[in-house]
Amino acid sequence: MRKEFSNAMERLAVEDESIVFITGDLGYNALENLQAKMGKRFINAGVAEQNMIGVAAGFAHKGYKVFCYSIAPFIVYRCLEQFRNDVCFNNLPVFLVGNGGGYGYGIMGSSHHTIEDLACLSGQQNVNVWVPGFSDEVEPVLEQIVKDARPAYLRLGAGKTTPENSYQTGSFKVIHHSETAEITVFALGPIANNVMSALSLSPELETKVNVITALHFPLQMTDELTDLIRKAPSVLVAEEHISIGGLAQQLSVQLLEKGIIPAGFKSLKAEGYPNSRYGSQGYHQKLSGLDPDSILSHISQLMITA
């Protein structure tokens, strides 16, 4: 999604001179076009993420809309206090952009993984969190972030394009729908691609499953969505995030408040490092049961108990 992000940022920055872009010494071979277009509004703050957020808050106080870019673990964890105190409490238009969410940086290990970011950021005051599952969602999300002009976090990964006939309802997007569905699968970000790949392995299950992505936090559940869930009340959640503070936990609260009691509920989430080893993103997804084969197996098991 980094290419789509760079191209969309270039267009927005040309149209809106109040946009400032600050990078934490990252984005090489990806953001040069943006730097050329923005000139002095493109700032390399160096490897100093905490200071970068303070600078961004200063710009925002003066009326600018500021994007702060780094790889996800650096933009989330290193400067959480500055983002909370300087940006969120003051409801300033500073937007964190983290590339490579979840296990995206693979073999580089836990210091470069971001599997607790929703827990850290989605509960902060005034913050919108965006987790696109598909590359073509990046541009409209950026447009909305700029329009909202409030604290935001954008988690980027690697996704395909949105399946045909998808539609948004509240903060969710329905990407696969069947009138005869018995199971509702909720996916966070690019894991939706793994869910769709799982269904392609077993076409007979396609008519038994709805697939919905969570694009935006705080979660906003519409009556249309609750009707879909009531008709397919066995729920499976797949996310490249730990269970605490993640999609499954936040979704559970929404379901209970709506009076929806799932016929079955299964949460597939980032399991950390159960064997104390590091590998590719696919390796960690498999350990966590988030690869297509494992997802298909869990859907099949949920079908039995439904």
- Is 104 inside any structural domain? yes
**Least confident interval from 16-30, 201-215, 242-256:** 16-30
- Is 29 inside any structural domain? yes
Region 19-47: what's the mean pLDDT? Answer: 88
End-of-domain residue from the set 123, 156, 189: 156
pLDDT tens-digit series, residues 148-159: 999 999 999 988
Q: How many Å apart are CA 75 and CA 92, to the nearest integer?
A: 17
Are 133 and 265 in the same domain? no
Region 281-285: what's the mean pLDDT? Answer: 97
Burial of residue 28 (CB within 10 Å: 0-12, 13-18, 19+) is: exposed
Are 196 and 152 in the same domain? no
Are 244 and 147 in the same domain? no
| pLDDT at residue 278, rounded to an integer | 96
Q: What CATH number has the domain bearing residue 276?
A: 3.40.50.920
| pLDDT at residue 8, rounded to an integer | 93
- Is 161 inside any structural domain? no
Are 56 and 100 in the same domain? yes
End-of-domain residue from the set 128, 156, 184: 156
pTM: 0.94
The band of 306, judged by pLDDT with boundaries at 50, 70 and 90, is: low
Burial of residue 279 (CB within 10 Å: 0-12, 13-18, 19+) is: middle
Are 97 and 130 in the same domain? yes
The band of 29, judged by pLDDT with boundaries at 50, 70 and 90, is: confident
Are 114 and 245 in the same domain? no
Cβ pair 300, 264 in contact under 8 A: no
Are 250 and 213 in the same domain? yes
- Is 162 inside any structural domain? no
Which amino acid is residue 105, in one-letter code? Answer: Y
Name the residue range of residue 80's domain.
2-156
pLDDT greater at residue 306 or residue 290:
290
Number of domains in the chain: 2
Are 182 and 123 in the same domain? no
Are 180 and 147 in the same domain? no
- Is 205 inside any structural domain? yes
End-of-domain residue from the set 156, 175, 204: 156
Residue 163 clears pLDDT 80, i.e. is over it: yes
Helical (H) or strand (E) element with 236: strand 234-238
Are 150 and 286 in the same domain? no
| pLDDT at residue 28, rounded to an integer | 73
- Is 194 inside any structural domain? yes
Q: What CATH number has the domain bearing residue 98?
A: 3.40.50.970
Closest CA to 132 of 169, 161, 165: 161
| pLDDT at residue 304, rounded to an integer | 77
Are 173 and 52 in the same domain? no
Are 293 and 221 in the same domain? yes
| pLDDT at residue 299, rounded to an integer | 95
- Is 221 inside any structural domain? yes
- Is 116 inside any structural domain? yes
Residues 6+ apart with CB under 8 A from 134: 159, 160, 161, 162, 190, 192, 193
Average pLDDT of every residue of the chain: 94
The percentage of the chain sitting over the pLDDT mark of 70, rounded to a whole number, equals 99
Helical (H) or strand (E) element with 19: strand 19-23
